[in-house]
Amino acid sequence: MDNTFFAYRDGGLHASEVALDRLAEEIGTPFYCYSGDALEHGYRSFAAALAGLPATICYALKANSNQAVIKTFADLGAGADVVSEGELRRAMAAGVPTEKIVFAGVGKTAAEMIAGLDAGILQFNVESLAELELLSQVASQRGTTAPVAVRVNPDVDAGTLDKITTGRADSKFGIDAGAARDYLRTVKSMPGIRFEGLAVHIGSQLTDIAPYRTAFQRLIALYHELRAAGLPLRRVDLGGGIGISYKHDLQAQFAETEERMQTYAAMVHGLVDGLDADLVFEPGRLLVGNAGLLVTRVLYVKDSDTRRFVIVDAAMNDLIRPSLYDAWHEILPVKAAPEGTALQPVDVVGPVCESTDTFAKQRPLPPLAKGDLLVFSSAGAYSFVMASTYNSRPLPPEVLVRGGRFAVVRERMNYDTMIGQDRLPDWLSDGAAQPTDQASPARALRHAAPAQPIRSAG
């Protein structure tokens, strides 16, 4: 497939026909840029690959929960996979029909269950017997019934990064397949609960198809067994986790991701042939990962005895994946390097006071200078959503581009908002009214001093 979403034109990188250097001038750096064309393409090709199956595609919001992104998918017919009340609210605010929302997660609170019940969602993916009991209570108390899919832990190793594998016996997710079988065969019904399906999700960024096949086969066998035992199941939720390509040039990335997705879809078609069940898919990264970039500007180039550091204005607070998972993001200059330019290995680092604020070590890049723009590619998933204000750096803005147009879909956080969320207790608020008062720590202590001195118990 030809990637026209991100491409060099007239020597500069463009996203959906918008020049990124112009965007950087207008918006400032760092900023996230998502291609609406790429989002739509990703959704449509996944839907096309599943054509003919009774499938609901529930976009996993946690990968990227900007309203504009969710709305893009909702307009194309997507449902949503949510893992918190906040995500449920985001999905509903963006117009996702509630009958296409599944609520997953190992630690739902009673309040979250109520929110889901009141919204009338498609199903709760229940991950423990204790959760099932609480849901039964909560639903009964409200005089309603909760549609449930039991999330089974199929005990397969997804072969992905340890931190994002979720389907092994030692992982906190799901109910062991054996226990789920024994339980469901005996309990059959429960007040306030409608057992409708089985669910599985074995991890994220899966690049190998074998663990999927094993997990799905186990799930489907269990589905048949439980139906035969009289449980009125009618839905199988195959989760998400399809890996995308992070390496190579931008053209190759989209092609490789597409190929992985097609392999997955072909495997699914084979396994569910003749299965009497509606299907749910929960792709997150697949739909958004390759569709986003983080754009940053070089602040300084600094040489040490052994290496050259390129210090950029984005940091681990903006994009934590390299620090958190040793994840790889391709780094590209916005201004195309002339053909034949020699590359030199550099460390690309951010300004945060942590050594782990390093995006890449000894990465071969064309010569760079202060002011140059770079992009981290494939930063559409698990990127902005994990951003923080560490080092009191405001959250970066998000921009959606589409067919030559752009829109800021989330403003850069301003300093007043950031600081304004703090509150002073009344024993310190004097000092707040006089921020220039040099002596405020001592004064604060005086104000806070209790009438009776507190003696140490020891």
Ligand X SMILES: *Cc1c(COP(=O)(O)O)cnc(C)c1O
Catalytic positions are 353
The type of residue at 18 is V
User: Which structure tokens are listed for 198?
Assistant: 């089985």
Place of tokens 């009673």: 110
Question: Least distance to ligand X from the beta carbon of 194, Å?
Answer: 20
Nearer to ligand X, 115 or 365 (CB): 115
Question: Least distance to ligand X from the beta carbon of 243, Å?
Answer: 8
Residue 280's alpha-carbon distances to 101, 125, 144, 452, in angstroms, are: 10, 11, 23, 64
Nearer to ligand X, 146 or 202 (CB): 202
To the nearest 10°, the Cα dihedral for 371, 373, 376, 382? 80
Residue 189's alpha-carbon distances to 152, 153, 165, 184, 232, in angstroms, are: 18, 21, 31, 8, 10
Nearer to ligand X, 240 or 292 (CB): 240
Question: Least distance to ligand X from the beta carbon of 98, Å?
Answer: 18
Place of tokens 């052994």: 306
Question: Least distance to ligand X from the beta carbon of 63, Å?
Answer: 5
Question: Least distance to ligand X from the beta carbon of 375, Å?
Answer: 21
Nearer to ligand X, 116 or 239 (CB): 239
Nearer to ligand X, 240 or 333 (CB): 240
Question: Least distance to ligand X from the beta carbon of 57, Å?
Answer: 11
Strand partners, 7: 14
Question: Least distance to ligand X from the beta carbon of 84, Å?
Answer: 11
- Which single residue brings its beta carbon nearest to ligand X? 284
Nearer to ligand X, 29 or 153 (CB): 153
Question: Least distance to ligand X from the beta carbon of 428, Å?
Answer: 41
Residue 129's alpha-carbon distances to 34, 121, 125, 142, 398, in angstroms, are: 40, 20, 12, 20, 40
Residues that bind ligand X (CB under 6 A): 60, 62-63, 81, 83, 104, 201, 204, 239-242, 282-286
Nearer to ligand X, 83 or 156 (CB): 83
Place of tokens 């199956």: 53
Nearer to ligand X, 223 or 281 (CB): 281
